[in-house]
Amino acid sequence: MPMIARITFCFAACLAWINASFALAETLNLGTLNEGIRSQMRVFQPLLTYLETDLEDSGITEVRLVVHPSTELMADAIARKEVDIFIDSPMVVAKVAQLSGGTPFLRHWKDGHAGYYTVIFTHVNSGITSLEDLQGRKVALEDHDSSSGFIVPVHMLIKAGLELKKLRAPSTSPSGNNVGYFLTYNDKNTMFAVASGRADAGATNQIRYLDLMEARPDEFRILAISDQYPRSVLMHRPGISKLLLDELRSSLKSMSDTNEGRTVLENFQNSTRFDEFAAGSKYTFAPIFEILQDLEDAGIK
């Protein structure tokens, strides 16, 4: 190849590399649901800092946290490309995916657990021994965007043939054979509502329930246990760069291989690792989307 041709070729290659680098130079926005950003910044900062450094060669100049209080607002932000990656529980991720067109792509071992299941429980003195006994009773649930505290237990009650109706206040009595429910907005509030008799039953995940049993042994009875679902999930927005997504996937999955990465994981929600869905994303989320459809058919959102 003539010298001039070689110089021209090298210049063009360098120019293409520079253009590609600038094209990738961007801010990566991670999103989660919460009422306030300050508390979540303390939780997410170790992960944000780690990714900002690890993805520097991929053109990422900043990794930021975006917090919204509802699935609807988060889905809107994702659709506007203001959020690239969304991290939350599987049912919530599924809701946001339906609204935004996003795709779940990694499993997050939050609190050291790959999966979780929901426990519907009651006080041993309630006289309730089955879900059917909850007709005409009150159930304490967390909030509409909680997987283990609302979405899964509501689906369990519906599948048991029960009709649910939201109460105007916790002190309101259910009408007829309906199961009345009220929102507590916190796992601890749910457990207190059952322990104090303000609710006849409540729902939480098995980790919280085991903590409750350790603190107050022999006071509560399990009425039903759900199937197991991923503990936490990452979803990416539509149209995200495949190159960036591959780099991000590699960065997250390799964190558990180094001392630095393991330390960051531990400081981020007591995590253990990020990995692929054992059965694949589509197979894992098929029953989750069915749950959301059943709730929509029942008029519960």
Rounded Cα–Cα distance for residues 107 and 230 (Å): 7
Amino acid in position 156: M
Check: CB of residue 73 under 8 Å from CB of residue 67: no
Q: What is the pLDDT of residue 21?
A: 37
pTM exceeds 0.75:
yes
Give per-residue pLDDT as tens, 129-185. Answer: 999 999 999 999 999 989 999 999 999 999 999 999 999 999 999 988 999 999 999
- Which ranges constitute the DSSP H helices of the chain? 3-24, 37-54, 71-79, 90-100, 152-159, 187-196, 206-215, 242-253, 259-267, 281-297
Q: Is the dihedral of CA 163, 164, 169, 170 positive or negative?
A: positive
The position carrying tokens 């329930």 is: 209
Give residues with Cβ within 8 angstroms of 198, minimum separation 6: 138, 140, 170, 192
Q: At 301, is the pLDDT very low, low, confident or very high (cuts 50, 70, 90)?
A: confident
State pLDDT tens for residues 67-113.
999 999 999 999 999 999 999 999 999 999 999 999 999 999 999 99
**pLDDT interval class at 37 (50, 70, 90):** confident
